[in-house]
Copies of this chain bind each other. A is one copy, B any other.
Amino acid sequence: MTSTTTSPPAPLRVAMIGHAFMGAAHSHAWRSAHRFFDLPLLPVMQVVVGRDAGRAGHAAEQFGWAESATDWRAVVERDDVDLVDICTPGNTHRDIALAALAAGKHVLCEKPLANSVAEAEEMTAAAEAARAQGTYAMCGFTYRRVPALSLARELVAEGRLGTIRQVRAQYLQDWLSDADAPLTWRMDKSLAGSGSLGDIGAHVIDATQWITGQSITGVSALLETFVTSRPVAGQASGLGGAGDASGERGPVDVDDAAWFTARFEGGAVGSFEATRFALGRKNAIRIEINGTDGSLAFDFEDMNVLNFFDGTQPSRVQGFTRIYVTEPDHPYTGAWWPPGHGLGYEHGFTHQVVDLVRAIGADEQPTPSFADALAVQRVLDAVERSAGDRSTWTGV
């Protein structure tokens, strides 16, 4: 937490588009990152944008943005904005990102990158063009920044697992388990692109490709919508809530759950599941990786822990070691509290800001790039194609 900087860092002026769940998390990160980490640029929370002036104004006040606005097209052109942070539903990502990059602004875009491969390709091309101008784009797969998963990647990269053979990834939630939970934008394909697949499945696709350092080359998939219509009106609570079961119902046109097997380029085989119907599992991101020399197991419901099986130890003392990832030499954690004082969900967002600002300060490409996010999008697309073709094996 010490700094030897003599002159204050230059500002990095941020405009955030959207101020719902992700907006709250991103705001906290922009407020907090430089309080715990040395950053080469000082984030300035310049303006928050929302469609409704009143609510945007309230968001500015609540989250700590200097001002609010309603027209994102005008904001991304402003001279006093250096970076555009896109926290809106997926159907708007392409337009905002392209405009921001064209205006020479760095971009942080929530995941999934877009609602189609075509959009993602266009965005990636724009990002690569912008990069040549020193303008950077990044996609918000924040779970990479959970310290335990960052450590997972390090251990794989160091060869502690040997050759990766199996990947097991599940993202289990239950907020749609109630058949009368209300219909929201997350169940509307035109807005969200897909259901559990793109919302949460995308996270474990990105995480496993990143941790293993291997791309998925083909899939066999199944999608299911358990509840095909839901109350139009209702009261939100968390991501779900209580719908008005007596009133009108609208159609759900996205998947409630998705499953697929996958082959990775290095020879590993993976099985994936994303669901909003695993009653009792709230945000269980479970990732297990088995190699020839070691294995890893993680569950976000115990997010400060990484379980590591070191197959090179004598069999008498082998076992999964519950690494409590809060030591000074673990990723990110040295900047926070003493060992054993765990972190929470929002810290991933703060770490995302740290890595993004450091990359911009160093004039380097932050990761995951739009190209990385496009790779995820292509897997999502292959999953949908396979599921639409009787689960037949489908190349990515």
Contacts and interface: CB of A to CB of B under 8 A. Distances in A.
A131 interface: no
A268 B175 CA distance: 18
Contact of A239 (B311, B330, B338, B393): B338
Interface stretch (A58-66, A68-76, A357-365, A368-376): A58-66
Interface of A: 1-3, 21, 24-25, 27-28, 31-32, 34-36, 58, 62-64, 151, 155, 165-166, 168, 170, 173-175, 177, 179, 220, 222, 224, 226, 237-239, 257, 259, 261, 267, 269, 271, 273, 275, 277-284, 288, 290-295, 300-303, 307-311, 315-324, 326-330, 336-347, 386, 390-393
Given A166-B275, A239-B338, A281-B340, 13 more contacts: A1-B24, A3-B62, A28-B32, A28-B35, A165-B226, A168-B273, A177-B311, A278-B295, A279-B309, A283-B340, A310-B317, A315-B328, A392-B392
Contact of A271 (B32, B165, B271, B280): B271
Contacts of A24: 1, 36
B269 A294 contact: no
A166 B278 contact: yes
A382 B395 CA distance: 23
A35 B27 contact: yes
Interface hub of A36, A224, A283, A339 (most chain B Cβ within 10 A): A339
A237 B335 CA distance: 11
Q: How many copies does the complex hold?
A: 4
Nearest to A291: B279
Given A35-B31, A278-B166, A290-B280, A324 B316 contact: no
21 contacts: A1-B24, A25-B337, A28-B35, A31-B31, A35-B63, A166-B275, A166-B277, A173-B340, A237-B328, A259-B269, A278-B295, A280-B294, A282-B326, A283-B338, A283-B339, A284-B340, A307-B322, A316-B327, A316-B330, A318-B323, A336-B345
Given A261-B222, A269-B224, A301-B324, A279 B283 contact: no
Contacts of A390: 220, 392-393
A275 to B, nearest CB: 6
Contact of A339 (B32, B151, B238, B290): B238
Contact of A292 (B179, B321, B327): B179
A339 B175 contact: yes
Contacts of A301: 324, 340, 342
A344 B343 CA distance: 4
B280 A311 contact: yes
Interface hub of A58, A151, A170, A278 (most chain B Cβ within 10 A): A278
Contact of A269 (B257, B326, B343): B257
Nearest to A338: B238
